[in-house]
Chain A
Amino acid sequence: MSTITDSMNTISSLEEMAEGNTIIHRLHPMVKLITTMLYLVLVISFNPYNITGLMVFAFYPVILMALAEIPYKPLLKRLLIALPFSFFAGISNIIFNQQLALMIGPMPISYGLLSFISIMVKTIFTVMAVMILIATTSLPKISYQLLSIKVPKIIVEQIMLTYRYISVLLEQVSNMYTAYILRAPAAKGIKMKDMGVFVGQLLLKSFDRAESIYVAMKCRGYDGNYLYAKPSPIQKGDWLFLVLASGVLCLMRFFDLSLFIGSFL
């Protein structure tokens, strides 16, 4: 089924990217996590009609992608999937707020249109920032860091375990689905009345699998506690990047480069 194959491909392509070894990949995961969060907060803190100030934030994803050697295409594809949601949330603004904001030559620009553009730009920026984070830092590395900001251990364990078994389950579902469709060639999906049995079977198998995993853990001395190595400490270079990056980001928030350039026109 296409969604399953799609998501398997997405996960594995992002994982392959995260195996890279550029300056961005080598940064401490905590530093990347903080920088990403700061970027997100700053981007969405712009008021909905200020799109000139927002534009300078394009530098962040572009520079990071170039430094990390992340290919554009897969990220753009992900972006296209994320955009429609924001599109529908934003399109109403054009309808409901037609008040004139400014004229570009003969073309009237309404506040609604401005806020629509702002939503779309914010979507692009925020999605890219998160994508860049996961394309340069593997999920296990990110979740290790969660331990050091006092996220309960059980959540981190769950993230790791779920992540570990996603590909196993996706493959299982995909096989079951194929077996179903081959015997019901006319169906466009699982029939609703068969869902109980279909997912039910999946769950039963998974209960058994969980049981085996538990036994495997027990055989290796598990006593209810998952033990991890301590995450590596933040290096001097990482601190430097953190200070520089957050400084520049804050500067970008309060200095409208677009207007500055515009003022020379």
Chain B
Amino acid sequence: MHMADALVSPAVGGIMLAASAGAIAYSAYKCKDDLDEKKIPLMGVMGAVIFAGQMINFTIPGTGSSGHIGGGILLAALLGPFPAFLTLTAVLLIQALFFADGGLLALGANIWNLGFYACLLVYPFVFKPIVKKGLTPTRISVASVVSVILALTLGAASVVIQTLASGITELPMATFMGMMIPIHLAIGLVEGIVTGGILVFIYKMRPELLESSMDNKKLPKNLSIRKVLGFLLVFAIVIGGGLSLLASSNPDGLEWSMENVAGTAELEASGNAYDSAAGIQESTAFLPDYGFKSTDGEGSAAGTSVSGIIGAGITLILAGGTGYLIYAVKRRKEKTV
């Protein structure tokens, strides 16, 4: 579920980087206040555990397929929300650098989708209220399953929104959501059960490990179920409102097309590299402008484009040749030295 650099626009990537940076700064500030210095090495080791743990394939009975753990909720239950979020951020950065899992520009989006929801939203407002009355294996399991499903679904929905807002894919929103959400509900169920199993095991062996992060006191005190529901409602309204705003600009109602989404994205991107380039681009690019489906002047554009595409091929060959030349020169230098 990692977003790649190529799937975000500069505007979306930038916004998400800023949002995640804000969440990181806030968490770091929170940790500065009341983080036991003992937790610093623990967080580092847990980050490595999640990194390695995600590579353990487990078999899902009755399906023949395999899954792996995500880790956001697990980390939050072991470390507390803010340290968990920071730890996950470090893991995601390392994955982005070494494994091309996501990229540097998409890092903000990935931290948000995989870390923010699980650690800072679902854990404090869903997981904790469920286990508030005291830890029992049943409560831990229920809390894990519900939380992981919720966190994953929120993440998946965000992936859809971010991709569409970036104007990358032409998949209609409804189709895209329809593909992503059910899959992630299923993955969430499996992952939630496994997460619950892990936490129950820890609870049985060393209950103090879970409880110490539980009463990390930095929680809203009188957190009632009503407040949680209220919060989720507000969240749903914000998301829904944002979506309908996008939808209202679409004459075809639910028939989402790239035209509209891309149009909105362009508005958001105004004033940045995307747009300032437009003027120059219009004279050079074989498309007259961003209007994707414009059919005017296509015939004339086609003439230039064919040569343009041949030019692109030559450009590639030139680039490759340059590289080869540098290699050759270097090798010769080595030989003469």
Contacts and interface: CB of A to CB of B under 8 A. Distances in A.
* Chain A–chain B contact at Cβ < 8 A: yes
Interface of A: 1, 3-4, 7, 10-11, 14, 36-37, 40-45, 47-56, 58-59, 62-63, 65-67, 69, 78-79, 81-82, 85-86, 89-90, 92-93, 96-97, 99-104, 111-112, 115, 119, 122-123, 125-127, 130-131, 133-134, 139, 142, 151-155, 157-166, 168-170, 172-173, 177, 187-204, 206-207, 209-211, 213-214, 217, 222-224, 226, 253-263, 265
B6 A103 contact: no
A193 to B, nearest CB: 7
A66 B198 CA distance: 47
Interface string B267-310: 00000011001001100111100101101001001101111111
Given A126-B4, A188-B59, A190-B57, A55 B312 contact: yes
Interface stretch (B126-134, B168-176, B225-233): B168-176
B42 interface: yes
Contacts of B221: none
Contact of B42 (A69, A142, A210): A210
Q: Could you say which interface size class chain B belongs to?
A: 35 or more
Contacts of A161: 40-41, 43-45, 47-48, 90
A115 B9 CA distance: 14
Given A130-B104, A195-B194, A204-B202, A262 B310 contact: yes
B47 A62 contact: no
A205 to B, nearest CB: 9
Interface stretch (B30-38, B117-125, B234-242, B243-251): B30-38
Interface string B70-107: 00000000100000001101110110111111011100
Contact of A164 (B35, B44, B104, B105): B44
Given A126-B4, A130-B5, A262 B194 contact: no
Given A58-B319, A161-B47, A224-B40, A154 B31 contact: yes
B94 A202 contact: no
B183 interface: no
A263 B103 contact: no
Interface in B291-337: 292-293, 295, 298, 301-302, 304-312, 314-316, 318-320, 322-327, 330
Contacts of B105: 37, 40-41, 44, 126
Nearest to A97: B170
A224 B32 CA distance: 10
B263 interface: no
Of the candidates A172, A173, A255, the one having the most CB atoms from chain B within 10 angstroms of its own CB is: A173
A141 B325 CA distance: 30
Given A62-B320, A86-B7, A92-B169, 14 more contacts: A47-B285, A52-B311, A54-B312, A96-B171, A104-B306, A126-B103, A165-B47, A166-B94, A188-B59, A188-B66, A192-B190, A195-B56, A204-B206, A258-B315
Nearest to A142: B97
Of the candidates A51, A52, A85, A151, the one having the most CB atoms from chain B within 10 angstroms of its own CB is: A52
B100 A79 contact: yes
Nearest to A213: B41
Contacts of B47: 158, 161-162, 165
The B interface is mostly helix, strand or loop, or mixed, namely helix
Given A36-B104, A119-B168, A173-B56, A126 B6 contact: yes
22 contacts: A11-B98, A41-B105, A47-B290, A50-B285, A54-B312, A59-B319, A63-B322, A102-B306, A134-B97, A158-B43, A161-B44, A162-B44, A162-B51, A163-B94, A164-B44, A168-B48, A191-B58, A191-B61, A200-B198, A210-B46, A258-B315, A259-B284
Contact of A101 (B200, B280, B302): B302
A207 B209 contact: yes
A165 B45 contact: yes
A102 to B, nearest CB: 4
Contacts of B311: 52, 55, 257-263, 265
Q: Which 7 A-B pairs have the closest CB atoms?
A: A161-B44, A196-B197, A262-B311, A200-B201, A162-B47, A262-B307, A152-B28
Contact of A7 (B44, B99, B293, B330): B99
B219 interface: no
